[in-house]
Every structure is written in structure tokens, then in C-alpha cells.
Structure 1
Amino acid sequence: MRFLPLHRGRGQLDGQWRFHDSIPAAPQIGVEPGSVRKMDRFITYLNPAPHRHTFMKAFMRQDSPEFCSACHKVHLDGPVNHYRWLRGFNEYDNWQASGISGQGARSFYYPDKSSTCADCHMPLTPSQDPGNRDGMVHSHRFPAANIAVAYVNKDDEQMRITEKFLQSGFITVDLFAATPVEESQGLAQMRRRSTDAPALASTFAVGEEAETPGNVTIREVGKVAAPLDAPGIRFQPGQTVRVDAVVRTRKIGHFFPAGTVDAFDVWLELQARDATGRILCWSGRVDDDGRGPVEKGAHFYRSYLLDGEGNAINKRNAWQARSVLYVRLIPPGAADTVHFRVPIPRDAVGPVTLETKLNYRKFSDYFTKFVYAGIPKSGLAAIAFDSREYSFDSAPVPVLPIVTLARATAKLELGEPRWEPVVRKQDRERWNDWGIGLLLQGDLKGAEFAFQHVTQAEPEYADGWLNVARALIQEGETEAARPYVEKALALKPGLARAHFFMAMIAKAAGDYDGALRNLYACRDQYPRDRVALNQIGRILFLKRKYADAVRALEEVLQVDPEDVQAHYNLMLSYRGLGQAENAGREEKLFLRFKADEASQALTARPRLLSAEDNNERQPIHDHAP
């Protein structure tokens, strides 16, 4: 009997259903070895229908993403980690809440057609298999990002398919903007927390499936030159410039990267050379001519987990995870803006060429060495930590390939500097992507600046106006955001995400009825958007309509039974109804799923020991050469 946990429905307190499948014991009969298999093959080929009905269940087609989530939405619990419930990697929730699924109301971008896991990872391929339809079957090679298995197994065909998939353009890089470092250092900044919503206990990123608390920065923008390939932009020799690269997820339905992201090397590399070939800046280089570890100061995409003593989780010892130093992943249909400091010497010969590459190595250098040759030396280890050092001299270790997923180049002309934006309609999406990356890292004024230029580049683009409002709402300037949302609705009446943000403006003003009208308009188009449903439940609670709030919040749990915000508001609503038993149950579930804030104390030691890791932990940070 096999049990596969599926995160859908509310059959268990932990929100997991189970698929049951079993194979009856074969009768013991006296036949020649292999003859039963041959008979089975003959009968299957003669009439495939019974075989298909046995192994292809309806839910595999009707609920294929939920079926995939049985293995691709995971958590650890007390019996495994001797600690508590803790979310592991999670491909399902960010797909479900995104524009890729067609179920999320608040995405930045929406494809022409929604897609599921199988659309990307089981593409149609020519085959003469008896199950083919018009000469095609869905590939069972499951192309994704695991190039390591194909490499060590010397499977050239799987290597070719995986490399082609990784370089298919599902993610892109753009060198977009620059600012003078000397000026930006003197600008005033203010930091504050963006929301008080409860956070999930997770070792993974949380995207559009929830309102995520975090710090935001209010700062003056200063001088900007963008885009870098616009005519007339120049930079002064003897100056250091802050160059912004934008990594944009396009044809991907979940976070990038995905999977067990504590064990990979995924990073953005940038190199600057002058016209003589002299290297001026190199961030993200790999030691030993590309065979060793990535430099610690690189811009990584990963989950940096810590054990009970503050040691890095770098051996897939996830059961010892107790805290998170940082998580940096890019949601589907979104972007990350990366800042590099590029010094331009006075004797530099122009133009200066910048090249950035998004690199992927599965697995990390340390983990590969540990798997093949790791021998523990001195130190302590227990159920919650491993403080031992390891040697890697006991066996040969394969050098796993590094695949470049995307790259971009730009030339910086030298001369009298020109710090001004160049607004062209053709660059509207680039301005928008830059702004999205700034918004997601909490740089609200920078994001507002970028989105204002989106409205200038293409005034009829409704999301440009709406994105200005998003930045203003996070800043707390809700009334200033109102005309921008109204403009978006005038350009695109019925735009669900505009109704959602208009509801947030009305809620902040105390207009709960107006907020509900807009949220219902959003829900009518996207009935499975968890954040909209949670907001409906919260506002009904604030209106003291506790029974209605319970019904709304129960809808959230039909999408995700582990939604921590829904359990919190259900606890409050049941208390309002005087239903102590139900409130007590929801309180237990809320405490089960909420983050352990005290665990952040474990980050103190690694932050003190590594300036590079502490820098990466900051939502907004620069990478110096």
C-alpha cells in the first residue's frame, strides 16, 4: 500500500488527502520465468483499454497540478524533525495563486492561456508507442532542471533535452539602469514593516498566495540613467556606478528556482571589461576555473537554512532546519532587480562592456563533494544540528556542469555623464520589470519612479497606473493611490486586480461596504484567489458579521487547508460567535502553522561570521567587485 499526501481539500487536520493505490499479490503458479510478463505485454497491446482504466485515473487529468503537489508541496513535522511543523519546498501554491494557473487575481502578468505542470514538463513528443494519439505521446522524460543525474549517468540524450529546456527562454536577464554611487550614499532612507499579517512557518518563499510581512524602504530616488542601451548615455571615468540587472520569469509557473533550493548553486554573474580587455569588476566568479565553489559574495537564488546551532543546512539535512537566514526566489510572472557596483577607473578605455549571466548548477559544489567524498572530522552533532567539519579527500568527485540560462550585455560609453531617463514605448515592459523587482524587495519609491515611467511610455497600459498604486498603497499613501486605480479601471473596466487594490484603499478609509463590493467583483472573476477571500473574511469580521466571515474563510481552506491567515481570522470569528470549541481548534491550527519568530535569533552567529551572507540577507543590497 502506498500513501501519497495531497494538499487539497480538508480531509485531515494537516490539510492532506491521501491517494491509495495497491497491487494485488500475484498468484504463485509454476511457469517459466518471464512468461507472465510476456503474456501481460501481449494482452496490453491487444487491448490497451483495461490497462489505461487501471492506471490513468480521472483525477490525474482533472486535477493534475493537485496530483503533482503530492510530492511538490511538502512539509516536515515533529516525528521527522523533532521540532515542529515546517513548510518545505512548495511548487503548488505559487502556481495556484499566479496568473499562470488562471486562478490568481493579482499577478503582474497573465499569459494568453493558463497552463499546468504537464504542459511544461510533459510536452508532446513523437512516438509509436501503442498509447500514441496521432503519433504523439506526452514525454515521460519530465524535462526540468536536474542535469546532475543525466551527467553522472552519462545519459547524453537526457542531457540534451534538459539543457534545451533550461535554455528555452523561460527566464531572461536585462541590464537596464544605473545610478551614481556617490550620490545615492547620501540620500535619506526610512525602513518600516509593510504588514502585520501572520507569517507561515516556511523554509521556502511565499508569493502571491499570501500577504507576506516584510520590511520596506522609503528613499529618494536620485539620478538615474535608463535604459542603458538608449542613445547618448555616458559615464564618467573615475566614478563608481550602481548598475541594475533585472531577472524576469516568463514561461515558468512556479518560483525560480524550484525544488530543494538549499542544495543548488543558482546565481547571477556580472563582469565588466574596458576596451582593452581589462577586468574592472567580476561578481559571481567560480573558483578553480569554473570547477569549484561560487564566490560567497555572489547574488544567489536559494533558501539559506540554519540548524539548531546556526550552521548552514548544506547536506540536505533538512530535518535539522530550525531557522532561515534568507530566501530569495522569483515568483512566476515577476522580476528581481539586482544591484552591482561597477568602478570605472580614470584610465579606463571606453566603451566598458558589461556582461551578466544567470547560471545554474545542480547540485552545489559543497553538497556534491559531501555526497561523493564527505568524511566527518571533529565537532559535535545531534538531532537538531551538525557542527562537524568534513574532509573531501576520500573519493573522486565529479565536476557537475554549469548551465547558463540567460545572458545580457551592455556597453557603457565614457565621457561627460548624462543622468536622465529615456522614455520610449518600446521599453515599457523593461521599465515595468525593473519596477516589479524594486517593489518586491521593498524599494517603494524606486518602484513608484519606475512605474511612473511605464505610464509615460504607454499611457494606455492599465497596469502601469495600477502598479503605481501598488507602490503607494504599500507606502501607506492610500488616498494618493486612488486616482491611479481609477485610471486603470477607466482604461480596462472590470480589471479584477484593480478592484482588489481599490478594496484595499476603501478598507484603509474605513469604507468596509465599498471594500466588499470591490472584493466581490474580484472574487466573481477569480473565486480561488486566497488573498481576496481572506480579505473578505477579515472585513466581515471587522463588521462583526462573524458567521459570514466563517463561511468566507472556509472557502480559503478549500484552496489551502494550511492557510495561516485563514486560521487566525477563523479563531477570532469563532470567538465572536461564542463558539469556544471551534475557536480553540482554530487557535491550535494557527499556532501549528505560524512562524516561530524566536528562531531568527539563530541568524545572529552566521551574520556576524560572514559579511557576504549578511549582505545577501538584506532585501536591498549591492554587490561590490
Structure 2
Amino acid sequence: MRKLSELAKAIRPLSTRAVLPCLLFCAALIFGIKAIHGAGTAGADDPPRDEASVRKAYADKMRPLYAFPFAKDRIALPGNAAVEGGDFLEPTAFPDAKYCGHCHQEAYHQWRQSLHANSFRTPFYRTSVNILMRTKGIEFARHCDSCHNPVGILAGALNKTYPFDRSFDRDGLTCMTCHSIQSVQTKLGNGSFVMGVPAVLVDEKGNRIPGIAPDAEILAHLDRHSKAVMQDFLHKPEFCAACHKANLPPMLNDYKWIRAFTAYDEWQGSKFSQQNPLTFYSADYTPCQGCHMKREAITLPDYGAKQGTLMSHRWPAGNTAVPFYYGFDEQLQKTVDFLESGNYLNVDIFALKSVSDNTMAAPLGSVPVSIKPDELVEAYVVVQNKNIGHSLIPEVRDLYEAWVKFTVKDASGAMVYESGFLKLDGLIDPSAHSFTNRPVDVLGDFVDNHKVWTIHSVAYDNTVQAGRSALVRYQFRIPKDLTGPITITAAVDYRHLRQSYLNNVLGKDHPAYPVIELASRSRTFNIGDNPTSSPLPTDNQDWMRWNNVGIGYLDEQQYEEAMKAFEQVIHLHPDYKDGYINKAIVYIEWEKYDEARAPLETALKLHPDDARALYYLALVERRQRHSEAEVADLEKVVAQYPYSRDARRELGISYYQQHRSDDAMQQFKALQQIDPDDLAAHYNLAVLYRRVGMKKQATDEAAQYTMKRIDPGAPTYSLEFLRMHPEMNRESSPWHVHMDRPQPAVAGQP
């Protein structure tokens, strides 16, 4: 009998609709029951496997071998992965991805090169996890592998004694790990899902049938197949939150609870969730899948496709290192295309300021500017996180690199000034403005190799949250003898991973890993007077340019400059209600509450009952002791945005101050349903519970508050690190200027 591949060639002229049934029929003929059982352990005449008996026998063997150092019968601690029934699940219960690929060829092809498929085996992951296992023990790696290798976790493989084959490691997150999950605990993260026993079919009553089934039976009951492998939450961001949210618990670090990352919370706080009224801009609802699983045309047959398209199972994002390392050229190119699409950031060379007379030309292009030889000037660059649903950089910020590459060149291309270049050894210029962070340990040393269990503090964090903007200043001198034009270019470059980490993992002789330009802008100026110029199609309108620089000033605590910027927004766009609200926000942060009322009232005249304006007006009412108005405003906000953390928190505080204990408790409990880690909720509930005699609940909330609040000694660790790294000390300042003077020597740059 010919092989399946030969048969496929023989029927190639047929249409896709005709080819698929032929392929599936041939597969059944060739592989028989072996194909049905995936692993090939059963023969054609063997009876069906009793899945319940197999699982019980496996669990009975594993239970006495397994170490439970943290809590009895909690398989995954310090991670949160769980399985229905709470017992061990043999790895052969998961049909491998090739089995699913019989019918889902396109999804399998995309998945194989994705980061999900390679989540466990890459040297970039294994390096830090192996250090953890050597340092503390394999049991502690359950924290990481709850997401990176759930099959291994639920099989009990993360144990000193594991007597079975671990070939499942090579596949990381397979089709049936995601498609067997029955529920998620969105608010926990660290692999907070409940896995069902894998099944590809349900019976007539909707009960899951463990194990695999013949392809022909699946095709005959596609509705029952869909019920087995598809859950509504697979299309929702809450599903992604099970792993794209993480913390470092005390059982891992022997210290205290520390937030690691939370792309989900950042998304929920962004304009794309439509759950937060306080964002600077608005947008249509877009879940995680809207960016990372966009539909694309299929190139291989796939029964899951609709009208020739399939939701991407590549999950393109920022990981260029894994496809580069394995030579997955297609995945790498798709990732590069995703990053270079120009949809996510806006870079604006906003202003030039003469240092000598403190005059500023802004916004550039819309106003004339004069440049003199030998003049010391400052360039203002605004980087807007325009269309990313989370921060720049998200998640493991200590490993990713994104920075501003800023150059000034004369007409011949000679460099006048440069910041953010790559040195010969591949490390970034230490004067670069980098969108990253630097975690430190108890000695104030940089936590290298992603040894997260040693983190005690974060020395600085220059990431830009969704919808916000960073203002970066550069100071340089125009050459005395310059006669021709100069060109200023600002770009945001990105590399995965940090060069020093690549060196740690691969040695210093590895090839250069890709550096991707996410966005850029150039402007050319002549010596002397320069008239106005037309904007590019990618430029923001002037009112938005002023708005973005105002946001940058606000985040840098430069309140007077922020106020002037938002006044320009109002001047250019007088019917834009958020211009008035932004002006009020400056007054509030400046603690000028009385002045904040007028612009908020103007915004409410433009848009009555606007939730953003009402929220900030409530803060003004509180300071002016108008308690009833304060509560009324916040109640309107909560009614419009029930998932607003800020509104729930402030309304709870308002009720608390009015001695409405029951109402306050209701708000803080609702806040904990949104964010169980909110410190205000823990603190206030501890007080309120104690007042009404609920001592145990009060003690529990007080313990949570104590565990999750910032360690008062943590800034000491950061200060020691910053003292040893003056170039990063400058970056940790709310605002600073990158100058063309020589930078201090840096030893052991992290």
C-alpha cells in the first residue's frame, strides 16, 4: 500500500473539498486504530482503552512518589494549574498535536513554529528554570511550568522522582492543553486554569468522552466535536489571563508577594477593554485575540477554517528570538511583519528648544524654526503607545529590549550626535532611553538570568502604559562650521532578547539577533530660518501632538508645562471634552482642587454624565467636603463602568467616610472580584470586618495586605543599585535630558 504522502500527490488535482475526505479515508486505512490512539500503543484488534482505569492506575502510582512541600494535594503549587478531580493526569491522555493535525493542517503548521509550541524546550526559558531547580529544587519550577508545560505539571513530572517518559516536553502547549481547559481563574494568573480530562467528542447527552476518536466519527459528529474542544472563553481575554498574569508568592521567594507582570490587567485598563473610563483616548473593543489571533488566509487544508480563513495559531507578538534560534523563517518573518506594521507606536519629533534663550519651537512642522551654528539645542521626542493594548514593554521587561535610537547627521551623513546605538559587543549604548526595568536583589545587585525568586525591588521602570506617552529629551550642539542641512531621526528599536542575557545563554560568539524598528520619524532643518512644512500621513494632528506631550509632562510631574500643553489642545480642539478633563487632572495632581472644577464642568456641558469627568469631579467634591455630590458622581461612574477598579475603590472610600459600612464592604468586595490584589480593598475590608465582629475575615484581609504591600526597605535595595549605575540613576528620574557630553564608564552593564 502506498504511503499517505504518495496518495496525496496522486489526488493533488482535486479540489480541497474533495481532497480532505480522501486523505482522511486513506489515513484510516493505513494507520487503523493506531492512528486513533495517537501514541500507537494499541493494535487494530485491541479493545478501547478504559480511560478512567488508566488514569486511576497512573495516579495511584504517582501519589506516593510525589512531594507536596507547600500544601497537601495541590499538584502545581507555587503555580495554580489544576485538573478536574484534583488528581494526576497521565500524559498519554493528551492526544498529541499530530493527531489534531490530521484535520487541522494549517493550525498545526502555524502552531509548530509558535512560541506556545516551544514554550518549554527553548534554551532561553530553560536557562533560568534550570538555575531555579539547582538552587531551590525542582518543586519550585512548578511555578513556571504551570504555564510553560502544563502536561508535565499535571502528570507529576516536576518531581525528583518521575519514572516515565518525558517526550511530551518537546511540545510545550499542545492543541489539547488549551482546548481541554474547562474554566479559568482570571484574577490569579500563574496558570490559573482547570484542565478537563482531554476529549475530542461528547456523547449524545453532552458528556465528555475521554481519549481520542476515529477521524470518521469526528467528521460525522462535528457539533459534538466542537462542544468537546471549544469553550466560549477561548475567544475572550480572560482566557489569556490565566498565564499572561503572574506574581511571585512567598513560597517561591521566601520573602513576600510581588507582582511579576500582568498583561491582562494592563489590557483591562486600556482603551481597548472599554472597562476603564479614565483612559486618555477611546477605541473599539478589542480583546487579546483581536491582535494576536487575527484571521488570515489558509495555505493548507483545515476543517476549522471559515471562508478560507483561520484565527492565527502563530500568536505573533514580540518573540523573534525563538524562531531565529530554531530557523523558523516563516514564523520569524510573520513576527517581523507584525512588529513593523506601524500600527502600534507613534514617534513625534515635537519641538526644538534653544538652551541659551529658552525659546521653543513647537510643534515642529506647524511653526517656523531657526537654527544657528554653535547653538546648544534640545530636541523633544514623544513616543506614544498608540495602539498596543498593554505596556511597552510588557511581561518579562528585564529580558526584552526596546529603546530610542536618536541621531543627528549633517548633509554628508556624518554623525553630529547619537544616542541609543549598538556597541561593537552588541550591548546598547548606556546613555540610551530604554523602555525596560531593572529588578534588584537584597544586596542591590541586578537580578540577572531572570532569577525572579531573588527580586526584592525594582530600581526603575521606564515602560509606557497603553494609551500614554513618553517624553524624551536630547541636548546637542550644532557644529560651528555647519552650512548645510541637518537631519534628526528618532526611532524605537526592539530586540528580543537582551544582549547580555543572550550572551549568558549562548556565549558571546552567537550570531546577532534581529533588531526591529517599531516606528520612526525624521525631520531635516537648514541652518537659519525654516518655514512650516506639510505633515506626513502617519503624523498625528496638532491637537493630539499637544495632548501627547501633555501626557508626557504629566507623567514626569512637570505640571506647569503639562497645563500649557493641554491649553493648546483646548485652543485647537475646543469641543474635545477630554482636553478640559486633562487640564483638571493636572490641577488635581498639583493639588489645586478648586481650579479643577471649572474645566470639569465645561467637559460635562459638552458631554453630560461623562464618566471620566464625573470621576475627577468626585475627587474635587471630596476635597471641598461635598460628600453627597461626591457619592452621587461616583455612583454614576460605577453604573456606567462596573469593572472600573478606580471608581469602585473611590466609591468604597466615600461610603467608608460616610460610615456606610455595608455599602463600603460591597464596593471593596466588588473591587476584589476585579482585582484580588488591590491593597485598598484588603486594608479597608480588614477594618470594616473587625468593626462588625467578623474577626477571622478581618485577620485574613490584614494578612493579605501585609503580604502584598511594598516592603518599606525595598527602596534601599534600589538606591544601592542606582548608586553603582549612574547611567541608570539618570533614567530613573521622572524627567532627564540625554546630553552629548561623555558618559561615565560603566562596569558590568546589566
TM-score by length of 2: 0.69
Identify the residue that residue 416 of structure 2 maps to in structure 1. 280
Query: Does the Cα contact within 8 Å between 1:15 and 1:562 map onto a contact in 2?
Result: no
Separation in 1 of the partners of 2:540 and 2:227?
54
Identify the residue that residue 159 of structure 1 maps to in structure 2. 332
Matched, 1:324 2:496: no
Separation in 2 of the partners of 1:571 and 1:461?
42
Q: Output the amino acid matched with 1:437.
A: G
For residue 398 of structure 1, the aligned residue among 500, 506, 511 is 511
Matched, 1:21 2:182: no
Identify the residue that residue 673 of structure 2 maps to in structure 1. 558
For residue 428 of structure 1, the aligned residue among 538, 543, 546 is 543
Separation in 1 of the partners of 2:726 and 2:281?
36
For residue 391 of structure 2, the aligned residue among 241, 255, 258 is 255
Q: Which structure: larger Rg? A: 2
Identify the residue that residue 730 of structure 2 maps to in structure 1. 615
Identify the residue that residue 83 of structure 1 maps to in structure 2. 255
Matched, 1:115 2:228: no
Query: Residue 287 of structure 1 aligns to a residue in which SS?
Result: coil
Residue-by-residue CA offset, 1:153-204 (whole Å, 9 max, x unaligned): 1112111111111012211211102323346xxxxxxxxxxxxxxxxxxxxx
Q: Output the amino acid matched with 2:384.
A: R
Query: Residue 71 of structure 1 aligns to a residue in which SS?
Result: coil
Q: Output the amino acid matched with 1:21.
A: G
Identify the residue that residue 506 of structure 1 maps to in structure 2. 621
Give 5+ residue unaligned stretches, structure 1. 26-35, 184-221, 374-391
Identify the residue that residue 309 of structure 2 maps to in structure 1. 136
Query: Does the Cα contact within 8 Å between 1:228 and 1:412 map onto a contact in 2?
Result: no
Separation in 2 of the partners of 1:532 and 1:279?
51
CA distance 1:539–1:562, shift in 2 (3 Å): same
Separation in 1 of the partners of 2:399 and 2:184?
24
Q: Output the amino acid matched with 2:243.
A: C
Matched, 1:490 2:605: yes
CA distance 1:574–1:16, shift in 2 (3 Å): farther
CA distance 1:7–1:327, shift in 2 (3 Å): farther
1:275-314 → structure 2 map (5 Å cutoff) = 275-288=411-424, 292-314=426-448
Identify the residue that residue 196 of structure 1 maps to in structure 2. none
Separation in 2 of the partners of 1:601 and 1:366?
25
Query: Does the Cα contact within 8 Å between 1:276 and 1:349 map onto a contact in 2?
Result: no
For residue 97 of structure 1, the aligned residue among 269, 272, 276 is 269
Identify the residue that residue 203 of structure 2 maps to in structure 1. none
Question: How far has the Cα of 1:349 moved from its partner?
Answer: 2.6
CA distance 1:149–1:348, shift in 2 (3 Å): same
Separation in 1 of the partners of 2:277 and 2:569?
21
Identify the residue that residue 186 of structure 1 maps to in structure 2. none
Query: Residue 241 of structure 1 aligns to a residue in which SS?
Result: strand
Query: Does the Cα contact within 8 Å between 2:186 and 2:238 map onto a contact in 1?
Result: no
Question: How far has the Cα of 1:255 moved from its partner?
Answer: 1.0
Residue-by-residue CA offset, 1:336-369 (whole Å, 9 max, x unaligned): 1111112223222343210011000000100001
Separation in 2 of the partners of 1:595 and 1:178?
40
Separation in 2 of the partners of 1:257 and 1:430?
22
Question: How far has the Cα of 1:576 moved from its partner?
Answer: 4.0
Matched, 1:460 2:575: yes
Question: How far has the Cα of 1:616 moved from its partner?
Answer: 0.7
1:338-357 → structure 2 map (5 Å cutoff) = 338-357=472-491
Question: How far has the Cα of 1:413 moved from its partner?
Answer: 3.8
Identify the residue that residue 409 of structure 1 maps to in structure 2. 522
Separation in 1 of the partners of 2:690 and 2:372?
64
For residue 48 of structure 1, the aligned residue among 218, 222, 229 is 222
Matched, 1:265 2:438: no
Instruction: Decide which moves more: 232-241 or 533-542.
Output: 232-241
Separation in 1 of the partners of 2:409 and 2:607?
46
Query: Does the Cα contact within 8 Å between 1:307 and 1:320 map onto a contact in 2?
Result: yes
Query: Does the Cα contact within 8 Å between 1:335 and 1:437 map onto a contact in 2?
Result: yes
For residue 606 of structure 1, the aligned residue among 718, 721, 725 is 721
Q: Output the amino acid matched with 1:136.
A: T
Residue-by-residue CA offset, 1:441-483 (whole Å, 9 max, x unaligned): 2222121111011011111111111111111110001111111
Query: Does the Cα contact within 8 Å between 1:275 and 1:349 map onto a contact in 2?
Result: no
CA distance 1:425–1:405, shift in 2 (3 Å): closer
1:339-378 → structure 2 map (5 Å cutoff) = 339-373=473-507
Query: Residue 676 of structure 2 aligns to a residue in which SS?
Result: coil
Query: Does the Cα contact within 8 Å between 1:237 and 1:348 map onto a contact in 2?
Result: yes
Separation in 1 of the partners of 2:320 and 2:710?
34
Query: Residue 177 of structure 1 aligns to a residue in which SS?
Result: strand
Separation in 1 of the partners of 2:552 and 2:434?
15
Separation in 2 of the partners of 1:574 and 1:351?
69
Query: Residue 504 of structure 1 aligns to a residue in which SS?
Result: helix
Query: Does the Cα contact within 8 Å between 1:100 and 1:332 map onto a contact in 2?
Result: no
Separation in 1 of the partners of 2:599 and 2:495?
43
Question: How far has the Cα of 1:147 moved from its partner?
Answer: 0.8
Q: Output the amino acid matched with 2:396.
A: T
Matched, 1:226 2:362: yes
Separation in 2 of the partners of 1:449 and 1:24?
61
Query: Does the Cα contact within 8 Å between 1:323 and 1:603 map onto a contact in 2?
Result: yes
Q: Identity over the aligned pairs, expressed in percent?
A: 29
CA distance 1:225–1:556, shift in 2 (3 Å): same
Query: Does the Cα contact within 8 Å between 1:571 and 1:583 map onto a contact in 2?
Result: yes
Query: Does the Cα contact within 8 Å between 1:7 and 1:15 map onto a contact in 2?
Result: no
Q: Output the amino acid matched with 1:175.
A: I
Question: How far has the Cα of 1:226 moved from its partner?
Answer: 0.3
Question: How far has the Cα of 1:60 moved from its partner?
Answer: 2.2
Q: Output the amino acid matched with 2:316.
A: P
Question: How far has the Cα of 1:24 moved from its partner?
Answer: 8.2
CA distance 1:426–1:122, shift in 2 (3 Å): closer
Separation in 2 of the partners of 1:163 and 1:83?
39
Query: Does the Cα contact within 8 Å between 1:15 and 1:560 map onto a contact in 2?
Result: no
Q: Output the amino acid matched with 2:502.
A: T
CA distance 1:256–1:40, shift in 2 (3 Å): farther
CA distance 1:559–1:16, shift in 2 (3 Å): farther
Separation in 2 of the partners of 1:340 and 1:287?
19
Question: How far has the Cα of 1:494 moved from its partner?
Answer: 2.1
Query: Does the Cα contact within 8 Å between 2:256 and 2:708 map onto a contact in 1?
Result: no
Query: Residue 360 of structure 1 aligns to a residue in which SS?
Result: strand
CA distance 1:146–1:542, shift in 2 (3 Å): same
1:167-246 → structure 2 map (5 Å cutoff) = 167-168=340-341, 169-182=343-356, 223-246=359-382
Separation in 2 of the partners of 1:488 and 1:339?
32
Q: Output the amino acid matched with 2:401.
A: D
Separation in 1 of the partners of 2:219 and 2:186?
37
Query: Does the Cα contact within 8 Å between 2:377 and 2:476 map onto a contact in 1?
Result: yes
Question: How far has the Cα of 1:15 moved from its partner?
Answer: 11
The aligned length equals 544
Matched, 1:58 2:229: no
CA distance 1:575–1:44, shift in 2 (3 Å): same
Give 5+ residue unaligned stretches, structure 2. 1-74, 76-80, 83-145, 148-182, 201-210, 741-750
Separation in 2 of the partners of 1:150 and 1:9?
29
Question: How far has the Cα of 1:498 moved from its partner?
Answer: 0.6
Q: Output the amino acid matched with 1:133.
A: K
Instruction: Decide which moves more: 308-317 or 294-303.
Output: 308-317
Identify the residue that residue 315 of structure 1 maps to in structure 2. 449
Question: How far has the Cα of 1:46 moved from its partner?
Answer: 4.2
Separation in 2 of the partners of 1:361 and 1:548?
49
Instruction: Decide which moves more: 131-140 or 497-506.
Output: 131-140
Residue-by-residue CA offset, 1:536-580 (whole Å, 9 max, x unaligned): 001111111122111111110111111112112222333444544
Question: How far has the Cα of 1:414 moved from its partner?
Answer: 3.0
Query: Does the Cα contact within 8 Å between 1:472 and 1:478 map onto a contact in 2?
Result: yes
Query: Does the Cα contact within 8 Å between 1:8 and 1:559 map onto a contact in 2?
Result: no
Q: Output the amino acid matched with 1:134.
A: Q
